[in-house]
Structure 1
Amino acid sequence: MPIFHYTNVQSLALILHSKKIRFTRLDLLDDLKEIDGLPDNIESSFFVSCWTEESEENLSLWSLYTRMQGVRIELPQKFYKEYKHPKGDYGHWGFSEETICPINIEEFRTDEYIISNPFWLEDGFYIKVIYDKNYKELKESAILKTEKETGINHIKNLIIYKNPIWEFQKESRFYLMANPLPPLSDFDGDRIKQMKNISLGRINNSCDHIDIGINPEVLDSIVVRLYPNCEYSDELIVRSILDKFTKNGKIEHSNLNGTYRTK
Structure 2
Amino acid sequence: MRIYHYTNLESLALILENQTIRFNRLDKVDDLEEGNAESLGVKFCKYVFVSCWTETAEESIPLWKMYGGDNGGIRISLEQEMFKEYLISNLKIGKIQSQGTIISKIPPQDMVNSNFFIFPMLDYKNDLFYRHIKYVDDIYAFTKDAIQITNIQGGSGDMHMKMKPFGYYKNKRWEFQEEVRFVLYVLPMNPMVEGGNSGFSSIVIQSLLGNKSLPFHYYDMSLKDDAFNNLEITLSPSATEAQKLIVQALIDKYAPNAKLKESALGKVVRLK
TM-score range relative to shorter protein: 0.7 to 0.9
CA contact 2:45–2:166 (8 Å) conserved in 1? no
Matched, 1:256 2:265: yes
CA contact 1:143–1:150 (8 Å) conserved in 2? yes
Distance apart, 1:165 and its partner CA: 1.2
163-172 or 93-102, which deviates more: 93-102
The separation in 2 between residues aligned to 1:133 and 1:47, in whole angstroms, is 23
The separation in 2 between residues aligned to 1:194 and 1:204, in whole angstroms, is 23
Distance apart, 1:147 and its partner CA: 4.4
Matched, 1:43 2:45: yes
**Shift in CA distance, 206/14, structure 1 to aligned 2, threshold 3 Å:** same
Secondary structure of the structure 2 residue equivalent to 1:242: helix
TM-score (norm 1): 0.86
215-224 or 119-128, which deviates more: 119-128
Match of 2:67 among 62, 65, 68: 65
The separation in 1 between residues aligned to 2:100 and 2:179, in whole angstroms, is 31
Match of 2:84 among 65, 81, 99: 81
Tell me which residue corresponds to 2:31: 31
The separation in 2 between residues aligned to 1:127 and 1:103, in whole angstroms, is 18
Distance apart, 1:82 and its partner CA: 1.4
CA contact 2:93–2:112 (8 Å) conserved in 1? no
Distance apart, 1:139 and its partner CA: 2.0
The separation in 2 between residues aligned to 1:94 and 1:34, in whole angstroms, is 37
The separation in 2 between residues aligned to 1:142 and 1:57, in whole angstroms, is 36
Match of 1:138 among 122, 139, 142: 142
CA contact 1:139–1:161 (8 Å) conserved in 2? no
Q: Which runs of 5+ in 2 are unaligned?
A: 153-157
Tell me which residue corresponds to 2:155: none
The separation in 1 between residues aligned to 2:50 and 2:100, in whole angstroms, is 25
Tell me which residue corresponds to 2:252: 243
Deviations 1:23-73 (A, max 9, x none): 111111111112343234333211111111111100000001112320000
TM-score (norm 2): 0.83
Identity %: 32
The separation in 2 between residues aligned to 1:251 and 1:65, in whole angstroms, is 19
Tell me the number of residue pairs that the alignment of Structure 1 and Structure 2 aligns: 254
Match of 1:178 among 183, 186, 192: 186
Q: Which runs of 5+ in 1 are unaligned?
A: 183-190
